[in-house]
C-alpha cells in the first residue's frame, strides 16, 4: 500500500535557505573530489583507444610500451573476467554486463571511436599516457553507422553480430535494431478521420553530452584478500558496486565504493568506465591505481544522450480538442542496446489528455558511444517534437497556444502514452502561472535594424523515480544529530535532506550534520539521479527522524518516570500531561535538553534510528518555459534575451537549490537548442570533442533565468516534494524553436538550430 | 605527450642556436595556449620548448613616431590595456581582445598566434591590414617578411630551421586611416572564428573617397587571405553603399571556405560578405574620427 | 622520459615555496601533485573551461596551459589563499549565501577569476561580469546565481 500524506501549510525549516553543510569545504577548495584522492604508493593508469568507429582488432602489440621505464603493467580484454549475460537495473537504465565489459575493453571489435583496447599502469600519469600511445594495434576497418537511417539499411554492416533484437516480441537476428515497442490506446486511425486540423512533421536531433566539467575518474586498490576499494566521483556508490560486482565477478561484499564529491553528473556518472580497469591494473601491480579521463575521451566514449528521429502526427477537432496523437521514435543507443525509448514513450504526451494515442519506439545500435542517462533521458527529444507540432497546430488553426494547452491539459487520472494514470499533478497550475508571469505579460520589445525577435513556450515533463534509500540518525550530547546517508551530493542535497529531518525533530537545519558515506557504512541507496534524492532520501530521513522521536520519547519517559505512551512531541518539545491520580505534574523538555542527558546511566543508551524506503514515483513533474530570442538576419546569430522557467516543484525544501536546478536545466536545454551536437565525420567518430568546439553556453551567452516555483504538493511525500532536477531540460528545445518560428516564420525541425541552418532557411 | 625539456634563453642568439640544433623537435614558447595543447594532443613530438619570455627583444612593446613594435612574446592583455595602442591601432586591439577569454589573453601572444598560422588566427588579419612586418632572426641572419606572406598553409609558416619570430613591426598609420576587425562566432565568447574580416582604409583629404583599402579574411582558406581584388576595387572610389557592397561581394568571391565542424561553405561565404561590409563601414567611421 | 627537473622558487598564497618539477609539468599538476593544493581543478587541459584558473602576478590564467617552470620567481594565488584567519573572502561568502554553486567543481576557478575582476574593477556592469567570466564554464547553475553573487559583493563595496 502506498503511503499518502496531507500537508501542513507552514514549516519552521522547510522553505528556508540555510547555507549548505558542505559549502565551506567547496568554496575553499578543501572538498575532495575523485581527482583529488591521494594514497600512499599511488600509481596511474591510462587507456589505449581505437581511432576507428568500427573495426576488427587483428592484433595488439604491447612490446614497445612494456619497455618504457616506469611502466608496471599492461592489460587487455583477456584480463577482463568472464561476465554473465543478463540485464541489470542500474536505477536509470539497464545494462547487460557482457555488453558492458566489451564496451569498457574491446574484445574482437571496436564499436566506437575511442573504444579502449588496452590499459597501462605506470609510476606517473605522463608515463602511463605516453606508453598507452606506444601500444600498436592492427585494425581491419569496417563501415561505420553514424545514424539510425544508416544502421537500419537493408545492407547495413551489423555492429553486434550476436544481438538478439526484439521486434514487438518477435526475436530478430542479423540486425542493428535492438528493440521495437508499441503502445496503443483508443482508435487512432478513426480519430484522424475526425480531426479538422492535423499537424505532422519529423524532428531530428544529434547526440549531445551531459557536459559536466569534471572528467570521469577512479582510484582502485585490490588487496591481498581479493577485496577491492574504489574511490570515484559517482552518482551512486551502490549502483557502481553492483556494476563492479558483475564486471569483476566478485561478491558485492568484497567491494567497497567510497563516493567522492562529484563535479557534475546529470546521469552520465551512473555507469562505471574507469573503475573496473583501475581495479584490474591494481590487481596486476599490487598498487593503488588512479585514472582520470582525458576530455576528448569524455566526449567520445562516455554516454551522451541519444540522437535520432521523432515523427509526430497530431489531430484536433474544430472545437480545439486534441483528439489524437501518433508518433514514431528512433533513438541511437550507441554501441550497445538501451537507449531511453521507454521514458520517451512515457513522456511524449504527458502534458495532454488525449484519448487516442499510438507510439512506436525503436532502439537502434550505431557506432557511437553507448548512451547514458542525461537529465530526463528521452524526454527533451520528444518534447521538442510534440511541443513544436502543438505550436504549429495552434498557428494553423488560429488558437492561443496557452489556452489550447490549458483546455487539453492532463490531470489526475489522465492516461499517459504508456497507459499509466496520473495521480495529483500540476499541469494546469503551471500553465496558469505561466499565463500570470511577468515575462508572459511583458512586451517583447523591438530590435535594432537587421534583427528580429520572437517568443515561444513549451511544456516539459518527467515522471521522477522513487527507489531505495537508507538514512541513519544519531543524537549527540549537544542536541545536534548526525545524519548518515549514501546519496552523492551533486547539487546541495545534503542541505535538503537534513532540512527534512530537522523539520521533524524541531531543531535548526544547522544542527543536523550530514555525511555522505561509503557502501560499507550505510544501507543500500540508489543513485543521485532521476530527481529522486530530495524525495526519497529525504523521505528516509523523515522516517528516520520519526523513528528517532520514538526512541527519544522512551528516554523522556524514563526521565520523567512516566510511560512511553504518555509522552507527546510537538515542534521540538516533548511533554507529558499531568497525572493527577499519581500526583505527577505536567512536564516539558526540549529535544536539545533531553539530548544533553543521554549519556546518563539509566536513560537507555545512545539514541539512534534508521529510515529505509523503497518508493514508487517521486511525483510527476511538469514545467513550462518562455523564451525570447533575437536573431541577426544577416548572420543567423541568435541570442536568448529573456528566459523564464515555470515548474511545479511539489514543495521547495530549499528554494535556492530548486531554483538552481531549474536554471541549470534551462541552460543545458538552451545550449542543446542552439549549438550543441556531436559532429561526426563520415568514417565515424566525433570530431568536435573538446569544450572549444562542443559549444556549451558561457556566462556571456545567457540572460538571467527567471524562475517561478509552483507548489502542488504530491500526496506521496510527507512534505509534498516532487522531483525537480530533470523537468527543466525538457522545455527549452521547443521554447527556443517556437520563439524562432515567431521571429522568422520558419519551423526548424533539426537540432541544433544553429546560425548556419538559420541563414540557409532564411535564404530559401 | 612526448616529455620535453624547458629552456629559457636570455638572448636571441641562444634561442636560435637551440632551435637550429633540435630542428622540428623544438619550438618556441610564448603564451603556451596553442603549443601546450598541441604537444599534449601529440601534434608535435618535442624534445624542448624554448621560452622566449626572457629575451628582451621578444618582450618589447614600443609605440613611437615610427610605429609599433610588438615583441613576439607580448601577451594580448598588454596590447589592449595600452592606452596609446588602443587609440592609434584599434584594429589590432580588436584582434587581441577576442583571442580566447581573459585567462587566455593573460598569456597568449599575437606573435604566437601568427606563428601558429591558423587560418582563423584573430591576430593575423588585423596585422595584414595594418601592413605589418614579421621580424625574423635566424642562423643566416635577420630578415623581414610581410605578415600577409608569413603563413603558407594551415599551421605552416615561412620560418626555416632555426629561425625565430622576434617581433612584429607595424608602421604608423597615415592620417585618414581607420581599421577594424570582427569575427563571427555562434556563441558570444571562446569560439574559433567561423569567418572574420579585417579592414583598413585610408581616406583622401576630403574624407569622401577611398585612397587605399586593405581587406583580409580569416577562416575561409588554408591561410588568412589578403583579399587583393576586393581591396584594390575600392582604390579611388567614392565611399558609398554601392562601392562598399561591391567590394564585399568581391571579397566573398576571393574566399574559399570549406564545410567543417565550425561552419558551412554557404554560411561562411555569406558571413564574409556581411562582415566585410560592416568592417568597411566601421573602418571609415574610425578614419573619420 | 626526460630527466630534466626544473628548480622552482615561488610564492603561493603568500607563502614561499621551493620545489623540483619535471620540465614538461603544468602549473596545474605542480600545484595538485607536488605542492599538494588540490583546490584548483582539472576540467579539460586545453584552456577552454577555466576550472584550473589561478592568479599569476596579478593576472588570471589557465594553469593547465602554464608550465610550472614558467612561474619561477612569480607570485601565485589559488582558491586556498582567498580565506584568511578572519574568515571567508566576501566572494566565498556571497557564493554560499546566493547558492552560486551546485556541484562545486567550477567554483574555485570562478572565485579566483571573479576576484581578479573585482580587485581591479570594483563596480563592473552585469555585461562586464559575464564577459570577464566567459572563460569559466559552469554546467550546473546556468550562471545566474554566480553573476548575482559577484554583483552582491561589488554592490557591498
All residues of chain C having their beta carbon less than 8 Å from the beta carbon of residue A262 are 103, 105
- B231/B237 Cα distance (integer angstroms): 11
Query: Residue A206: which region, alpha, beta or left (left: phi > 0; alpha: psi -120 to 50)?
Result: beta
Q: Per-residue pLDDT for B122 more than 90?
A: yes
The candidate with the shortest Cα–Cα distance to A707, out of C94, C141, C152, B42, is C141
Using CB atoms, list chains with 3+ pairs below 8 Å to chain C.
A, B
Residue burial A131-161, b: 16+ Cβ < 10 Å; e: rest: bbbbbebebeebebbbbbebbbeeebeebbe
Helix (DSSP H) and strand (DSSP E) numbers for chain A: 19, 30
The mean per-residue pLDDT over the stretch A730-753 comes to 98
The mean per-residue pLDDT over the stretch A158-179 comes to 95
Tell me the shortest Cα–Cα distance from B138 to chain A, in angstroms: 33
Residues C118 and C101 in one domain: yes
Residues C104 and C70 in one domain: no
Choose from A16, A28, A235, A696 for mutation: most chain C CBs within 10 A: A28
Q: Where are the domains of chain A?
A: 23-31+466-611, 34-144+214-301, 423-464+617-764
Q: Per-residue pLDDT for A3 more than 90?
A: no
Q: Is residue A752 reached through a cis peptide bond, with omega within 30 degrees of 0 on the bond before it? A: yes
Interchain proximity B51–C24, CB inside 8 Å:
no
Q: Per-residue pLDDT for A512 more than 50?
A: yes
Interchain proximity A635–B187, CB inside 8 Å:
no
Give the per-residue pLDDT at B260. 95
Residues 6+ apart with CB under 8 A from A435: A402, A406
- B206/C82 Cα distance (integer angstroms): 58
All residues of chain B having their beta carbon less than 8 Å from the beta carbon of residue C4 are 5-6
Percent of chain A whose predicted confidence (pLDDT) is above 70: 99
CA torsion sign, A63 to A68 to A73 to A75?
A: negative
Which of C4, C24, C132 comes nearest B102 by C-beta?
C132
Q: Are A310 and A203 in contact (CB under 8 A)?
A: yes
Residues C67 and C118 in one domain: no
Interface of C with A in 5-34 (CB under 8 A): 22, 24-25, 29, 32
Residue B160: pLDDT band (50, 70, 90) is very high
Give the per-residue pLDDT at C112. 98
The candidate with the shortest Cα–Cα distance to C51, out of C105, C97, C90, C98, is C105
Among C38, C59, C81, identify where a domain stops: C81
The mean per-residue pLDDT over the stretch B21-40 comes to 96
Q: Does C67 touch chain B (CB under 8 A)?
A: yes
The mean per-residue pLDDT over the stretch A442-469 comes to 96
Residue B227: pLDDT band (50, 70, 90) is very high
Residues C61 and C108 in one domain: no
Residue A555: pLDDT band (50, 70, 90) is very high
Using CB atoms, list chains with 3+ pairs below 8 Å to chain A.
B, C
Interchain proximity B189–C66, CB inside 8 Å:
no
Among C81, C115, C131, identify where a domain stops: C81
Query: Beta partners for A626?
Result: A457, A644
Edge to edge, the sheet with strand A197-205 lists: A170-172, A165-167, A177-185, A356-365, A322-334, A308-316, A197-205
Neighbours of B285 (CB within 10 A): 12
What is the domain-level CATH number for residue C22? 3.10.20.30
The mean per-residue pLDDT over the stretch A181-193 comes to 98
Residues C94 and C152 in one domain: yes
Q: Does C108 touch chain A (CB under 8 A)?
A: yes
All residues of chain A having their beta carbon less than 8 Å from the beta carbon of residue C102 are 264, 490-492, 657, 660-661, 664
Q: Are A372 and A378 in contact (CB under 8 A)?
A: no
Using CB atoms, list chains with 3+ pairs below 8 Å to chain B.
A, C
Among C34, C62, C81, identify where a domain stops: C81
Interchain proximity A635–B184, CB inside 8 Å:
yes
Q: Are A519 and A238 in contact (CB under 8 A)?
A: yes
Q: pLDDT digits over A327-344, tens only?
A: 999 999 999 999 999 999
What is the domain-level CATH number for residue C151? 1.10.150.120
Q: pLDDT digits over A534-554, tens only?
A: 999 999 999 999 999 999 999
Interchain proximity B37–C47, CB inside 8 Å:
yes
Q: Per-residue pLDDT for A92 more than 60?
A: no
Q: Per-residue pLDDT for C2 more than 70?
A: no
All residues of chain A having their beta carbon less than 8 Å from the beta carbon of residue C135 are 698
Interface of A with B in 644-683 (CB under 8 A): 674-675, 679
ipTM value greater than 0.90: yes
Give the per-residue pLDDT at B42. 87
Q: pLDDT digits over A396-451, tens only?
A: 999 999 999 999 999 999 999 999 999 899 999 999 999 999 999 999 999 999 99
Residue A1: pLDDT band (50, 70, 90) is low
Give the per-residue pLDDT at A128. 97
CA angle centred on B268, ends B266 and B274, rounded to 5°: 105
Interchain proximity C26–B36, CB inside 8 Å:
yes
Q: Per-residue pLDDT for A321 more than 90?
A: yes
Give the per-residue pLDDT at A93. 61
Q: Does B188 touch chain C (CB under 8 A)?
A: yes
Interchain proximity A126–B263, CB inside 8 Å:
no
Choose from C95, C102, C142, C145 for mutation: most chain A CBs within 10 A: C142
- A648/A211 Cα distance (integer angstroms): 26
Class of A23-31+466-611 per CATH?
alpha beta
The C-alpha R_g of chain A, in whole angstroms, comes to 27
φ, ψ dihedrals at A470, nearest 5°: -130, 145
- A312/A297 Cα distance (integer angstroms): 34
- Mean confidence (pLDDT) of chain B: 97
Class of A423-464+617-764 per CATH?
alpha beta
Which of A127, A295, A660 comes nearest C141 by C-beta?
A660
CATH topology of A23-31+466-611 equal to that of A423-464+617-764? Answer: yes
Q: How many domains are contained in chain C?
A: 2
Residues C94 and C147 in one domain: yes
Helices (H), chain C: 27-29, 90-97, 107-120, 126-132, 144-156
Q: Does C88 touch chain B (CB under 8 A)?
A: no
Interface of C with B in 124-143 (CB under 8 A): 131-132, 134-136
The mean per-residue pLDDT over the stretch B77-82 comes to 98
Query: Residue A170: which region, alpha, beta or left (left: phi > 0; alpha: psi -120 to 50)?
Result: beta
Tell me the shortest Cα–Cα distance from B49 to chain C, in angstroms: 9
Q: Are A610 and A483 in contact (CB under 8 A)?
A: no
The mean per-residue pLDDT over the stretch A373-402 comes to 97
Predicted TM-score (pTM) of this structure: 0.97
- A460/A201 Cα distance (integer angstroms): 19
Tell me the shortest Cα–Cα distance from A131 to chain B, in angstroms: 9
- State the DSSP string of A699-763: GGG---EEEEEE----TTSTT-----SSGGGSSHHHHHHHHHHHHHS----BSS--HHHHHHHHH
Interchain proximity C61–B107, CB inside 8 Å:
yes
Which of C44, C48, C140 comes nearest A664 by C-beta?
C140
Expressed as residue numbers, the domain containing C134 is: 90-156
Q: Per-residue pLDDT for C1 more than 50?
A: no
All residues of chain C having their beta carbon less than 8 Å from the beta carbon of residue A210 are 139
Give the per-residue pLDDT at C3. 61
φ, ψ dihedrals at A486, nearest 5°: -120, 15
Q: Among the CATH numbers 3.90.1170.50, 3.40.630.10, 3.40.1550.10, 3.40.50.300, which is that of A34-144+214-301?
A: 3.90.1170.50
Give the per-residue pLDDT at A89. 72
Neighbours of B62 (CB within 10 A): 12
- A271/A304 Cα distance (integer angstroms): 12
All residues of chain C having their beta carbon less than 8 Å from the beta carbon of residue B50 are none
Give the per-residue pLDDT at A616. 86
Q: What domains appear along chain B, each with residue ranges and CATH number?
A: 58-171 (3.30.465.10), 177-288 (3.30.390.50)
The candidate with the shortest Cα–Cα distance to A681, out of A147, A133, A117, A110, is A147
The mean per-residue pLDDT over the stretch A453-476 comes to 96
DSSP C140: S
All residues of chain A having their beta carbon less than 8 Å from the beta carbon of residue C29 are 125
Q: Does B138 touch chain C (CB under 8 A)?
A: no
DSSP A422: P
Q: pLDDT digits over A658-702, tens only?
A: 999 999 999 999 999 999 999 999 999 999 999 999 999 999 999
All residues of chain B having their beta carbon less than 8 Å from the beta carbon of residue C22 are 3
The C-alpha R_g of chain C, in whole angstroms, comes to 16
Choose from B241, B267, B269, B279 for mutation: most chain A CBs within 10 A: B267
Q: Report the range of poorest mean pLDDT among A208-217, A614-623, A643-652, A735-744.
A: A614-623
All residues of chain C having their beta carbon less than 8 Å from the beta carbon of residue B100 are 47, 135
Residue B1: pLDDT band (50, 70, 90) is confident
Give the per-residue pLDDT at B2. 87
Q: pLDDT digits over A260-314, tens only?
A: 999 999 999 999 999 999 999 999 999 999 999 999 999 999 989 999 999 999 9
- A515/A519 Cα distance (integer angstroms): 13
Q: How many CB pairs under 8 A join A and C?
A: 186
Query: Beta partners for C63?
Result: none
Tell me the shortest Cα–Cα distance from A756 to chain B, in angstroms: 5
Amino acid at each position: 500500500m502506498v503511503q499518502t500524506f496531507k500537508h501542513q501549510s507552514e514549516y519552521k525549516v522547510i522553505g528556508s535557505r540555510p547555507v549548505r553543510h558542505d559549502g565551506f569545504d567547496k568554496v575553499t577548495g578543501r572538498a575532495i573530489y575523485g581527482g583529488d584522492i591521494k594514497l600512499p604508493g599511488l600509481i596511474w593508469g591510462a587507456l589505449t583507444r581505437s581511432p576507428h568507429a568500427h573495426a576488427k582488432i587483428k592484433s595488439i602489440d604491447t612490446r614497445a610500451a612494456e619497455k618504457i621505464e616506469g611502466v608496471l603493467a599492461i592489460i587487455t580484454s583477456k584480463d577482463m573476467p568472464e561476465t554473465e549475460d543478463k540485464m541489470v537495473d542500474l536505477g536509470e537504465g539497464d545494462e547487460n554486463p557482457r555488453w558492458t565489459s566489451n564496451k569498457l575493453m574491446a574484445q574482437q571489435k571496436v564499436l566506437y571511436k575511442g573504444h579502449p583496447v588496452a590499459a597501462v599502469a605506470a609510476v606517473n600519469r605522463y608515463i602511463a599516457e605516453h606508453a598507452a600511445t606506444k601500444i600498436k594495434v592492427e585494425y581491419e576497418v569496417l563501415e561505420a553507422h553514424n545514424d539510425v537511417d544508416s544502421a537500419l539499411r537493408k545492407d547495413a554492416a551489423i555492429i553486434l553480430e550476436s544481438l538478439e533484437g526484439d521486434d514487438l516480441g518477435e526475436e530478430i537476428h542479423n540486425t542493428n535494431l535492438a528493440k521495437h515497442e508499441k503502445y496503443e490506446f483508443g482508435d487512432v486511425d478513426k480519430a484522424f478521420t475526425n480531426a479538422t486540423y492535423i499537424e505532422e512533421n519529423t524532428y531530428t536531433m544529434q547526440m549531445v553530452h551531459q557536459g559536466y566539467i569534471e572528467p570521469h575518474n577512479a582510484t582502485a586498490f585490490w588487496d591481498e584478500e581479493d577485496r577491492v576499494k574504489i574511490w570515484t566521483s559517482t552518482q551512486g556508490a551502490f549502483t557502481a558496486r553492483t556494476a563492479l560486482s558483475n564486471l569483476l565477478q566478485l561478491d558485492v561484499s568484497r567491494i567497497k565504493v567510497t563516493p567522492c564529491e562529484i563535479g557534475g553528473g546529470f546521469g552520465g556518472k551512473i555507469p562505471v568506465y574507469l573503475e573496473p580497469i583501475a581495479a584490474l591494473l591494481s590487481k596486476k601491480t599490487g598498487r593503488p591505481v588512479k585514472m582520470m579521463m582525458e576530455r576528448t575521451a569524455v566526449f567520445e566514449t562516455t554516454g551522451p544522450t541519444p540522437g535520432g528521429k521523432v515523427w509526430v502526427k497530431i489531430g484536433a477537432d474544430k472545437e480545439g480538442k486534441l483528439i489524437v496523437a501518433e508518433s514514431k521514435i528512433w533513438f541511437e543507443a550507441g554501441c550497445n542496446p538501451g537507449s531511453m525509448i521507454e521514458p520517451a514513450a512515457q513522456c511524449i504526451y504527458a502534458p495532454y489528455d488525449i484519448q487516442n494515442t499510438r507510439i512506436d519506439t525503436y532502439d537502434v545500435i550505431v557506432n557511437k558511444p553507448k548512451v547514458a542517462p542525461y537529465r530526463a533521458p528521452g524526454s527533451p527529444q520528444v518534447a521538442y517534437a510534440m511541443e513544436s507540432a502543438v505550436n504549429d497546430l495552434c498557428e494553423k488553426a488560429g488558437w492561443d497556444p496557452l489556452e489550447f494547452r490549458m483546455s487539453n491539459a492532463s490531470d489526475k487520472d489522465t492516461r499517459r502514452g504508456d497507459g499509466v494514470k496520473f495521480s495529483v499533478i500540476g499541469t494546469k497550475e503551471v500553465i496558469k502561472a505561466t499565463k500570470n508571469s511577468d515575462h508572459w505579460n511583458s512586451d517583447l520589445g523591438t530590435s535594432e535594424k537587421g534583427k528580429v525577435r520572437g517568443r515561444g513556450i513549451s511544456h516539459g515533463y518527467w515522471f521522477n523515480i522513487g527507489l531505495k534509500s537508507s538514512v541513519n540518525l544519531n543524537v549527540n550530547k549537544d542536541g545536534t544529530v548526525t545524519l548518515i546517508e549514501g546519496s552523492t551530493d551533486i547539487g546541495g542535497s545534503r542541505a535538503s535532506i537534513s532540512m527534512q529531518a530537522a523539520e521533524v525533530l524541531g531543531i535548526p537545519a544547522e544542527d543536523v550534520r550530514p555525511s555522505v558515506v561509503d557502501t560499507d557504512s550505510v544501507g543500500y541507496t540508489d543513485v543521485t539521479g532521476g530527481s529522486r534524492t530530495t524525495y526519497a532520501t529525504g523521505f528516509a530521513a523523515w522516517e528516520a527522524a520519526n523513528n528517532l522521536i520514538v526512541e527519544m520519547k522512551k528516554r523522556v519517559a524514563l526521565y520523567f518516570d512516566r510511560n512511553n505512551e504518555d509522552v507527546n512531541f510537538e515542534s521540538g518539545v516533548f511533554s507529558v500531561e499531568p497525572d493527577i491520580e499519581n500526583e505527577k505534574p505536567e512536564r516539558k523538555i526540549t529535544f536539545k535538553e533531553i539530548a544533553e542527558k543521554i549519556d546518563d546511566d539509566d536513560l537507555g543508551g545512545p539514541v539512534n534510528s534508521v529510515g529505509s524506503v523503497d518508493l514508487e514515483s517521486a511525483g510527476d513533474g511538469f514545467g513550462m518555459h518562455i523564451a525570447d530570442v533575437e536573431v541577426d538576419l544577416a548572420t543567423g546569430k541568435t541570442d536568448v534575451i529573456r528566459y523564464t522557467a515555470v515548474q511545479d516543484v511539489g514543495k521547495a525544501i530549499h528554494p535556492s537549490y530548486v531554483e538552481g536546478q531549474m536554471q541549470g536545466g534551462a541552460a543545458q536545454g538552451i545550449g542543446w537548442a542552439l549549438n550543441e551536437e556531436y559532429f561526426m565525420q563520415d568514417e565515424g567518430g566525433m570530431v568536435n570533442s573538446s569544450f572549444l568546439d562542443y559549444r556549451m553556453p558561457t556566462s556571456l551567452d545567457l540572460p538571467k533565468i527567471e524562475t517561478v516555483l509552483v507548489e502542488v504538493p504530491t500526496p506521496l511525500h510527507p512534505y509534498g516534494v516532487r522531483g525537480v532536477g530533470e523537468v527543466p531540460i525538457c522545455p527549452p528545445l521547443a521554447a527556443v524553436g517556437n520563439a524562432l518560428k515567431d521571429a522568422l516564420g520558419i519551423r526548424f525541425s533539426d537540432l541544433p538550430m544553429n546560425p548556419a541552418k538559420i541563414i540557409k532557411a532564411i535564404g530559401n | 605527450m612526448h616529455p620535453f625539456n624547458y629552456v629559457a634563453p636570455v638572448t636571441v642568439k641562444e634561442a636560435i642556436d637551440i632551435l637550429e640544433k633540435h630542428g622540428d623537435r623544438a619550438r618556441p614558447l610564448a603564451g603556451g595556449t596553442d603549443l601546450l595543447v598541441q604537444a599534449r594532443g601529440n601534434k608535435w613530438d618535442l624534445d624542448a620548448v624554448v621560452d622566449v619570455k626572457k629575451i628582451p627583444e621578444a618582450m618589447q612593446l614600443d609605440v613611437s613616431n615610427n610605429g609599433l613594435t610588438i615583441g613576439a612574446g607580448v601577451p594580448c592583455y598588454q596590447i589592449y590595456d595600452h592606452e596609446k595602442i588602443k587609440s592609434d591601432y584599434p584594429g589590432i586591439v580588436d584582434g587581441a581582445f577576442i583571442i580566447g577569454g581573459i585567462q587566455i589573453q593573460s598569456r597568449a601572444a599575437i606573435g604566437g598566434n601568427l606563428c601558429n598560422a591558423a587560418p582563423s588566427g584573430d591576430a593575423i588579419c588585423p596585422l595584414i591590414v595594418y601592413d605589418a612586418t614579421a621580424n625574423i632572426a635566424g642562423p643566416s641572419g635577420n630578415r623581414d617578411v610581410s605578415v600577409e606572406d608569413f603563413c603558407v598553409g594551415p599551421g605552416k609558416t615561412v620560418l626555416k630551421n632555426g629561425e625565430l619570430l622576434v617581433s612584429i613591426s607595424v608602421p604608423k598609420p597615415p592620417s585618414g586611416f581607420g581599421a577594424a576587425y570582427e569575427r563571427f562566432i555562434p556563441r558570444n565568447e571562446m569560439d574559433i572564428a567561423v569567418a572574420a574580416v579585417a579592414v583598413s582604409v585610408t581616406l583622401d583629404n576630403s574624407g569622401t573617397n577611398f585612397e587605399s583599402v586593405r581587406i583580409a579574411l580569416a577562416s575561409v582558406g588554408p591561410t588568412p587571405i589578403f583579399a587583393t581584388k576586393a581591396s584594390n576595387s575600392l582604390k579611388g572610389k567614392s565611399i558609398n553603399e554601392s562601392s562598399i557592397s561591391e567590394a564585399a561581394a568581391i571579397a566573398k568571391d576571393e574566399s574559399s571556405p570549406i564545410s567543417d565542424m565550425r561552419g558551412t561553405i554557404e554560411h561562411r561565404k555569406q558571413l564574409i560578405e556581411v562582415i566585410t561590409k560592416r568592417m568597411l563601414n566601421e573602418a571609415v567611421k574610425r578614419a573619420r574620427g | 622520459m626526460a630527466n630534466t627537473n626544473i628548480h622552482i622558487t615561488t610564492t603561493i598564497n603568500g607563502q614561499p615555496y621551493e620545489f623540483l618539477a619535471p620540465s614538461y609539468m603544468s602549473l596545474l599538476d605542480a600545484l595538485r601533485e607536488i605542492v599538494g593544493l588540490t583546490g584548483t581543478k582539472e576540467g579539460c587541459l586545453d584552456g577552454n573551461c577555466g576550472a584550473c584558473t589561478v592568479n599569476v602576478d596579478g593576472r588570471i590564467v589557465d594553469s593547465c596551459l602554464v608550465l610550472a617552470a614558467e612561474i619561477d620567481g612569480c607570485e601565485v594565488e589559488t582558491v586556498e589563499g582567498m580565506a584568511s584567519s578572519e574568515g571567508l573572502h566576501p566572494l566565498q561568502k556571497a557564493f554560499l549565501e546566493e547558492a552560486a554553486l551546485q556541484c562545486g567543481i567550477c567554483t574555485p576557478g570562478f572565485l579566483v577569476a571573479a576576484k581578479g575582476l573585482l580587485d581591479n574593477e570594483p563596480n563592473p556592469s552585469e555585461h562586464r561580469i559575464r564577459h570577464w567570466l566567459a572563460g569559466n564554464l559552469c554546467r550546473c547553475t546556468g550562471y545566474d546565481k554566480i553573476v548575482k553573487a559577484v554583483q552582491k559583493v561589488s554592490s557591498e563595496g
